[in-house]
Every structure is written in structure tokens, then in C-alpha cells.
Structure 1
Amino acid sequence: MEIRVGIANIGRELSFETDSSADEIRAAVADALESKSASVTFTDSKGSSYIVPTSGLAYVEIGTEESRRVGFVA
């Protein structure tokens, strides 16, 4: 699933693919914001980690969990 994270005062968004479910991502962001944690960590499908300061979070866009269809639909 694709995740896009907007960070305040930065022109580009952070975009990556992850194997985590949408509920896991929502829970991680909600927990970090509710506990007033300094940062939230995301892990992509290749194993790389991204640490984003919670004070700079503008938005988190969570893609769909469905796989993309290939070909034409009649």
C-alpha cells in the first residue's frame, strides 16, 4: 500500500510503499499524536525506516489495500 506524508514547510511529500495495514498506520500516527511523542516512525516494504517529527505532520494519506488491476476491463 502506498503512504504519502506531508511535512509542514517542505515542498515535497514523503511517498513510499509499505507492507503494514492501513489500521497499523492509523494507529501509529494516532498514538504518536495523542502521546505527544516527538516523532513517528514508518517502515517501507524494503525495510527502510522514516522518522517524521509529529510537530511537522501536515497530513498522512493512506492508499487502498487492493492490488492494482492489470489489463482492460470490458
Structure 2
Amino acid sequence: MEIRIGMINTAREIGLETSQTMAEVETLVANSLSGTSPVLKLSDDKGKTYLVASANIAFVELGSDQNRRIGFVG
């Protein structure tokens, strides 16, 4: 699943792809934004871990759970 995170006062976004389900990511984001956790912690498919301060999150965009198609579709 593709995730984009927009940060306050920053023109760039954080983009990553994860194998976590949409429900898992939604729970992590909701806990982070509600103040339960001061840091949003996500892991991508390549093994990298992203720690984002909850106070700096402007938006979180969640893509679909479907895998991307490769090649020409016609």
C-alpha cells in the first residue's frame, strides 16, 4: 500500500510503500494524531523505519491495498 505524509511548513512529502494493511495504518495514524503516541512509526517494504513527529503531520494519504500492475495494460 502506498502512503504519503504531508508535513507542516514543508513543501516536500514523505512517500513510502508498506505491506501493512490499510486498517493497521489507519489505527497507527489515528493513535498518533489523537495524542496517544507522540510519534507515528511506519515501516516500508525495504525494511526502513520512518518516525514522524505527530505534531508536524499536515495530512496522511493512504493508497489502495491492490498491487500495482507492471507492463502495458490494454
TM-score by length of 1: 0.87
Mapped partners of 2:3, 2:17: distance in 1: 6
Mapped partners of 2:9, 2:18: distance in 1: 25
1:7 has 2:11 as partner: no
Mapped partners of 1:24, 1:36: distance in 2: 15
Three-state SS of the structure 2 residue aligned to 1:68 is: coil
Cα displacement (A) at 1:36: 4.2
**Which residue of the partner structure matches residue 26 of structure 1?**
26
Mapped partners of 1:23, 1:72: distance in 2: 29
1:28-72 deviation line (CA, Å, top 9, x unaligned): 011122234321111001110111011110000001111223433
RMSD (Å), alpha carbons: 1.3
Q: Give the 4+ runs in structure 1 shifted more than 3 A.
A: none
**Counterpart code for 1:10:** T
| % identical aligned pairs | 36
**Which residue of the partner structure matches residue 50 of structure 1?**
50
Unaligned runs of 5+ in 1: none
Unaligned runs of 5+ in 2: none
May I ask how many residue pairs the two structures share in their alignment? 73
